Structure 1
Amino acid sequence: MKPLQRTTFFTALLLLLTAVHHVYGAIIYHTHWRLHVLFVAIPVMLLVYLLDRLLRKYPDSYPLLVCYLLSVLLFPLLIIGLYEGVYNHLVKNIVFLVTGNNSFFLLLFPPPVYELPGDFWFEATGILQAFLFYPLLMSFSKMIKSAIHYRKQII
């Protein structure tokens, strides 16, 4: 799979998982404000898919390439993968396992924004976002390197 295909695949997978994770969290924790992510994740996923298709049709379009890279970087990689997956779930669970529910944990993860780890599926889908961050980051990095050195290999 080429970098463009791989990046689009992992972006879609991460955003679909995020949608499921937030719907589930909104239901079990009675926090319907979590559904706001759907209003960004689904349009971004569709935008990335559309830009992927356009890049395949017009592989020499730098504006399309820049739009695609920014669309993947800003929301899927940084906000969902790094912040939501790695910090909000992976780090939260590690800190909780190491320190328990103490003042340090509450300083880093204050309620009501953060829930104490208590639901296996909610935490598992959240941590899975962190694990999807890595292959997306690697694929995105290869795409950036290809774009700089061997632009034709992206598509």
Structure 2
Amino acid sequence: MMQTSPDIAAALTRKAALAGVAVMATTTVHHAIGAVVYRTPWRLHIAFLSIPTIAVILGALALHRRGAGAPSGRAAFVVLAAALALVPIAWIGAFEGFYNHVLKDVMYFLVPGSPVLVRMFPPPVYEVPDNALFEITGVLQVLPAWVAAAALARRVLGRRTARPDAARPSSAQRMGSMR
């Protein structure tokens, strides 16, 4: 059975939303690990961001699903897209995950002690990568953020087909229509 464009749009919206929730859950676990490992309880502040962000994402998703074609459903999608783009994708995925962990770890292992590394990641704000669990969970924030970004981009840009060539008829189909 071929999915319709609205079905695919709904699936992309749901995928982006759930990936956004996964980003927020991952960052909460990551910050809790950091709070324990580095004895910095202030890292638990992320719960004050994660819980409301998850509530906004899931609430907007539910409202959008109830009335996708109605003005209220479209408004809910705008709220959902903005919440996803700003918090799980840009702030947590790109800044916290990619900059604070992927880039820091790559530079630390490729150019240890570099003055650029110290300028970009000054202590005591940044920790030297000395705890694998903390760094791995930090890097893992990027994965669901990427999934959320890709699904949201496909949804917003209107790429609703399962594959780019799925909507195109095959050469056999084109030949049959010429008869």
Same fold per superposition (TM over 0.5): yes
**Counterpart check, 1:36 vs 2:45:** yes
Equivalent residue in structure 1 for 2:86, among 55, 59, 74: 74
Equivalent residue in structure 2 for 1:126, among 138, 145, 153: 138
Matched residues in 2 for 1:47 and 1:92: separation? 31
- Alignment partner, residue 66 of structure 2: 57
Matched residue type, 2:151: S
After TM superposition, the score normalised by the length of structure 2 is 0.78
Task: Name stretches of at least 5 consecutive residues in structure 2 with no aligned partner.
Answer: 1-7, 161-179
Equivalent residue in structure 1 for 2:149, among 125, 137, 146: 137
**Counterpart check, 1:111 vs 2:135:** no
Matched residue type, 1:108: M
Larger displacement relative to structure 2 (83-92 or 60-69): 60-69
After TM superposition, which residue ranges in structure 1, 4 or more long, deviate above 2 angstroms? none
- Alignment partner, residue 163 of structure 2: none
| 3-state secondary structure, aligned to 1:141 | helix
Q: Post-superposition shift, 1:27?
A: 0.9
- Alignment partner, residue 20 of structure 1: 29
Kindly provide the CA deviation profile for residues 32-53 of structure 1, in whole angstroms up to 9, marking residues without a partner as x: 1211111011110111001111
Matched residue type, 1:141: A
Matched residues in 1 for 2:122 and 2:42: separation? 17
Kindly provide the CA deviation profile for residues 97-118 of structure 1, in whole angstroms up to 9, marking residues without a partner as x: 1111332211010111100000
Q: Post-superposition shift, 1:78?
A: 0.5
Rg comparison, structure with higher value: 2
After TM superposition, the score normalised by the length of structure 1 is 0.90
Kindly provide the CA deviation profile for residues 50-109 of structure 1, in whole angstroms up to 9, marking residues without a partner as x: 111111101123221211111111111110000001100000000001111332211010
Matched residue type, 1:66: V
Matched residues in 2 for 1:15 and 1:69: separation? 15
Larger displacement relative to structure 2 (55-64 or 40-49): 55-64
CA RMSD of aligned residues (A): 1.5
Matched residue type, 2:28: A
Task: Name stretches of at least 5 consecutive residues in structure 1 with no aligned partner.
Answer: 151-155
Matched residues in 2 for 1:48 and 1:133: separation? 14
